[in-house]
Structure 1
Amino acid sequence: MPSAPYALGLTTANEHPESRALPVRGTLPPWLRGTLVRNGPGRFEVEDEAYNHWFDGLALLHAFTITEAGVSYRSRFLQSSAYTEAEAEGRITQSAFATDPCRSLFERVMTVFRPQLTDNANVSIHRLAGDWVALTETPLPVRFDPHTLDTLGVVDYDDTLSGPLTTAHPHRLPDGTLYSYVVDFSKPTSTYRLYRLDAATATRKELGTHAVRRPSYMHSFAMTGRYLALVAFPLVLDPLDVLLSGKPFIENFEWQPERGTQIHVFERDTGTHVTTVPTDPMFAFHHINAFDDGDALCIDLASYPDATIVDRMYLDALRSGWDDVEMARPERLRVNLKQHTATHERLSDTGIEVPRIHYAACNGQPYRYVYGTGNRTPGNFTDELVKIDMTTGNAQHWHADGCFPSEPIFAAAPRSTAEDEGVVLSVVLDTEAERSFLLVLDAESFTEIARAPAPQAIPLSFHGQFLDADAPLQDLHR
């Protein structure tokens, strides 16, 4: 099987728990002080058992800390029970997104009555209940120390809100209030449960619910000043299949385009269901932003025509090359709340994934710029960074031979007034040097101003946060 040029980023890495000083090429802005913490899969096998999907790998946290003295790096595996049990038993012990461990007949029967949720929180980083946590799509956030990356244990919610599936992309208000949802599987109907979590508390308050017969796989959702919206794509399941099929989680979902996409809209403050608007079939992992526009709700996503991308993320397929998959494109769903209709508009022909905006200033508001990874050369997965002007569709690009960047994260300059006044941070895999580096771009010109090589090749990761050393904790948003 041919190997993709970025396959080095899909191999198991060693952790570096002790801080290491890194050389810096270029000039860092004097105001840039803080820590970029990133999360993603860093181990893809346990002895002779391999995980099937990129989303299954065991979580590895990385931290690049920027001070007056320069840049330092450390990394640690998240000490989840999924990780510690695998280490102790020498095998995969917990079910994952697309991997189901070999279990005895008795163990399989017992999981029907007591489903096990993985705490392998390998997707994102957020502030929750007064702590920094690693998140995945099960409601088991894992606390960690952002300075040492030590694992501190699973958050123990002080409520009875039920549902085994959630999002690793909650939304936050400037005061730290968090909004999210869980999906409660049941027959004959399952339930989407939206909730609010006040800052520094562990009690989720249910806001509203919506019953569906076949719940959708949704990786993220939308929030504006007035509304919450769940865009339910036609990748759906029968809840009984999860318990009885014996298949890994995602393999129970079926693409049923004839169902179309259902946009469920709720009032943000009360959770009241406003409307459900049908529209054409589509799929997306990531929302870009959303905002109110009179009687309309605008929802921007990194959109695919179907859910083929989920299968192309299986490790065997991903490691062999990506030339038969088209990159997501920025698309706007304009939902007319009076007429209960929705239209689609492509905002740019530039491909984009893991999109990020100036969240603190623009989330839930009209905005102009989005940053993300792109695909310059067919088969090269994500081999460039892009900045798209959502008002014109024009794009700026950064790329370098043999380099594969991760999600770009915007950090605003102090007292900035322009939406793109600051820097963009990304961790880039350099396959020629067989190591990764921290890349710093000027956000306005989208040109490189500095880089700091890490001591190893860092596996391609999913999401992260820049923890500004001078910012109040409540101002640190996705």
Structure 2
Amino acid sequence: MNTFQKGLSSLNKEVEIGSLPIQGQIPIWLSGSLFRNGPAHFMGGHWFDGLAMIHKFSFRHGNVSYTNRFLRTEAYHHVMEAGKQVAGFGSAGTAGGSNNTNVNIMKMDHHFLALTESPGMVEFDPLTLNTIGVYQFQDNIPAHMTTAHPHLDPHSGQLINFTIQFGKTTFYHIYTIDPMTAHRQLIGSIETDRPGYMHSFAITNHYIILLEFPLVIQPMLLKTGKNFTDSLIWKPDQGLRFLVVSKADGKLHRIVESQAGFGFHVINAFEQGKDVVIDACISKEASAVTNLSIDQLTGDSQIGSHPQFKRYILEEGRSVAVEEILSLESIELPSIHYQRYNGQNYRYAYGVSTSLLHPENMDNQLIKIDTRTGESKIWSQEDCYPGEPVFVATPNGTKEDEGILLSVVLSGVQGRSFLLVLDAQTMDEIGRAEVPHHIPFGFHGIYTEEGM
């Protein structure tokens, strides 16, 4: 049995714990909450299809409390009350169990929303974690799919995302959300004849960039009861296309091509003169999508889909991107000092990674990569498996990496999880708060001082 197998098993307990045992120290200045999202009840055999659970770690005066709750979605009621298996990313099942929003969390106009790639966002109460319901926008932007990674534009203060509308012609509809009024406004619509599966995208000062991978969605195969991956076909001959869209008028500014690759996550992007630089977690093929069933992850063979840190430079006047690999280490679930450096020239990226000396099918270290030197710093502990590191800046800090990282880590030997606090500059441990049970491997979350 793999020591990380517990992280792919169900957690059905909902608890409230007022104070977790602490080793080391939790910074006194930390006075908000970390919200995490991810699957917690597995039925269909695919990691991505577990029922959504929100986990909340709250910090006050060096103490840490913990609460978790399942989102009471349509999918939850189908599975937990009716005993049905619902169709998902990699699991076939019955229709109707929708809005299993187990991927990410967004804060908008004081609303806390759980997201996935289907258009329905599910609102929850940040104090109790009780489910409020599907959030309704008052507009009619067409959507069959979307991303769970909207961007906050540092210049306009608007949120930016896009939807995919399938039909005889497929459209990417790019829109803004006013975070104070939750009003959506269409920026522009881009036609495509090869709709790519895109989990995230990039923004810079002047552009929105869609990474149209050659992992093509075949709308005719998006049938009720089928799993989503059955509709995907890998067409490496088509290569990767960067659709560079102008923020100002929503028009397609240019298309830049590159060799085939696939990635779930963009790390960051920025403009350098008239060039556009995009950093992303990229694998050479689409096995990152097809090798994530629980049986495959916990099997004896290496799945071989750990992505690399790739930089693409879209030079002015060139139709083919310049490619660089910035680190030999793998990186996934990336984060940066988002509030200050999203869409801007930056230096440091953080993420989970798998050891080059001890590779496993689940990431077993946290990594910090210096994009200017390629050097990396690593935190690891034997038989420990960390989740996405969330960067929290030190109050009044002036340096890009002045802050801490928060990561939920599974101790494979103990079969329990802990919240790890690292110094983001040194990657040294500051402290940890121990949870009395395991937390299944999740995906994304946010730290905020609202919602205590």
- Quickly name the TM-score band, shorter chain normalised: over 0.9
1:84-129 Cα distance to aligned partner (Å, 9 max, x none)? 232221112x4211222147xxxxxxxxxxxx68210000011134
Do the aligned residues in 1 keep the contact of 2:287 with 2:305 (CA within 8 Å)? no
**Aligned residue in 2 for 1:429:** 410
Alignment of 1:99 with 2:80, yes or no, is no
Q: What residue identity is the alignment partner of 1:97?
A: F
Query: What is the rounded CA distance, in whole Å, between the counterparts of 2:350 and 2:396 in structure 1?
Result: 21
Query: What is the rounded CA distance, in whole Å, between the counterparts of 1:343 and 1:176 in structure 2?
Result: 31
Q: What residue identity is the alignment partner of 2:413?
A: E
Query: What is the rounded CA distance, in whole Å, between the counterparts of 2:145 and 2:248 in structure 1?
Result: 23
Query: What is the rounded CA distance, in whole Å, between the counterparts of 1:203 and 1:321 in structure 2?
Result: 49
1:52-96 Cα distance to aligned partner (Å, 9 max, x none)? 31111100111111101611111111111110232221112x421
**Aligned residue in 1 for 2:119:** 139
Q: What residue identity is the alignment partner of 1:90?
A: G
Which of the residues 178, 203, 212 maps onto 2:159? 178
Which of the residues 419, 425, 428 maps onto 1:438? 419
Do the aligned residues in 1 keep the contact of 2:112 with 2:124 (CA within 8 Å)? yes
Alignment of 1:31 with 2:29, yes or no, is yes
Q: Map of 1:175-214 to 2, 5 A cutoff?
A: 176-187=157-168, 189-214=169-194
Query: What is the rounded CA distance, in whole Å, between the counterparts of 1:127 and 1:322 in structure 2?
Result: 40
| Helix, strand or coil at the partner of 1:21 | coil
| Helix, strand or coil at the partner of 2:100 | coil
Shift of 1:380: 4.6
Shift of 1:250: 1.7
Query: What is the rounded CA distance, in whole Å, between the counterparts of 2:255 and 2:98 in structure 1?
Result: 32
**Aligned residue in 2 for 1:157:** 137
**Aligned residue in 2 for 1:455:** 436
Query: What is the rounded CA distance, in whole Å, between the counterparts of 2:413 and 2:301 in structure 1?
Result: 19
Do the aligned residues in 1 keep the contact of 2:87 with 2:226 (CA within 8 Å)? no
Query: What is the rounded CA distance, in whole Å, between the counterparts of 1:72 and 1:370 in structure 2?
Result: 28
**Aligned residue in 2 for 1:416:** 397
Shift of 1:130: 3.5
Alignment of 1:287 with 2:266, yes or no, is yes
Q: What residue identity is the alignment partner of 1:394?
A: E
**Aligned residue in 2 for 1:70:** 63
Alignment of 1:387 with 2:368, yes or no, is yes
Q: Map of 1:268-283 to 2, 5 A cutoff?
A: 268-283=247-262
Do the aligned residues in 1 keep the contact of 2:298 with 2:361 (CA within 8 Å)? no
Higher deviation after alignment, 279-288 or 68-77: 68-77
Query: What is the rounded CA distance, in whole Å, between the counterparts of 1:76 and 1:436 in structure 2?
Result: 16
Shift of 1:14: 2.5
Query: What is the rounded CA distance, in whole Å, between the counterparts of 2:427 and 2:339 in structure 1?
Result: 20
Query: What is the rounded CA distance, in whole Å, between the counterparts of 1:468 and 1:384 in structure 2?
Result: 27
Q: What residue identity is the alignment partner of 1:353?
A: E
Shift of 1:304: 0.5
Query: What is the rounded CA distance, in whole Å, between the counterparts of 1:151 and 1:128 in structure 2?
Result: 16
Query: What is the rounded CA distance, in whole Å, between the counterparts of 1:160 and 1:380 in structure 2?
Result: 42
**Aligned residue in 2 for 1:259:** 238
Q: What residue identity is the alignment partner of 1:125?
A: I
Query: What is the rounded CA distance, in whole Å, between the counterparts of 2:319 and 2:430 in structure 1?
Result: 47
Segments of structure 1 that go 5 or more residues without pairing to the other structure are 46-50, 104-115, 472-478
Q: What residue identity is the alignment partner of 1:70?
A: N
Higher deviation after alignment, 416-425 or 317-326: 317-326
**Aligned residue in 2 for 1:113:** none
| Helix, strand or coil at the partner of 1:42 | strand
Deviating 4+ runs (over 4 angstroms): none
1:282-304 Cα distance to aligned partner (Å, 9 max, x none)? 11000000001111111100110
Shift of 1:470: 11
**Aligned residue in 2 for 1:303:** 282
Shift of 1:176: 4.2
Do the aligned residues in 1 keep the contact of 2:26 with 2:430 (CA within 8 Å)? yes
TM-score, normalisation: structure 1: 0.91
Distance 1:385 1:55, change over 3 A: same
Distance 1:322 1:389, change over 3 A: farther
| Helix, strand or coil at the partner of 1:22 | coil
Do the aligned residues in 2 keep the contact of 1:275 with 1:337 (CA within 8 Å)? no
Shift of 1:17: 3.6
Higher deviation after alignment, 4-13 or 171-180: 171-180
Distance 1:416 1:140, change over 3 A: same
Shift of 1:323: 2.2
| Helix, strand or coil at the partner of 2:280 | strand
Do the aligned residues in 2 keep the contact of 1:321 with 1:379 (CA within 8 Å)? no
TM-score, normalisation: structure 2: 0.96
Query: What is the rounded CA distance, in whole Å, between the counterparts of 2:97 and 2:392 in structure 1?
Result: 34
Which of the residues 221, 226, 235 maps onto 1:241? 221
Which of the residues 345, 348, 358 maps onto 2:324? 345
Shift of 1:29: 1.6
Shift of 1:326: 4.3
CA RMSD of aligned residues (A): 1.8
Identity among equivalent pairs (%):
39
Shift of 1:322: 6.0
1:177-208 Cα distance to aligned partner (Å, 9 max, x none)? 10000000112x21111111111333321111
1:384-417 Cα distance to aligned partner (Å, 9 max, x none)? 1000101111100001111100000110000110
1:261-286 Cα distance to aligned partner (Å, 9 max, x none)? 11101112321210111211111000
Segments of structure 2 that go 5 or more residues without pairing to the other structure are none
Distance 1:200 1:321, change over 3 A: farther
Query: What is the rounded CA distance, in whole Å, between the counterparts of 1:400 and 1:146 in structure 2?
Result: 32
**Aligned residue in 1 for 2:341:** 362
Which of the residues 72, 77, 91 maps onto 1:79? 72
1:129-188 Cα distance to aligned partner (Å, 9 max, x none)? 44011100011111111221111111101111112110000001346410000000112x
Distance 1:437 1:160, change over 3 A: same
Query: What is the rounded CA distance, in whole Å, between the counterparts of 1:191 and 1:258 in structure 2?
Result: 22
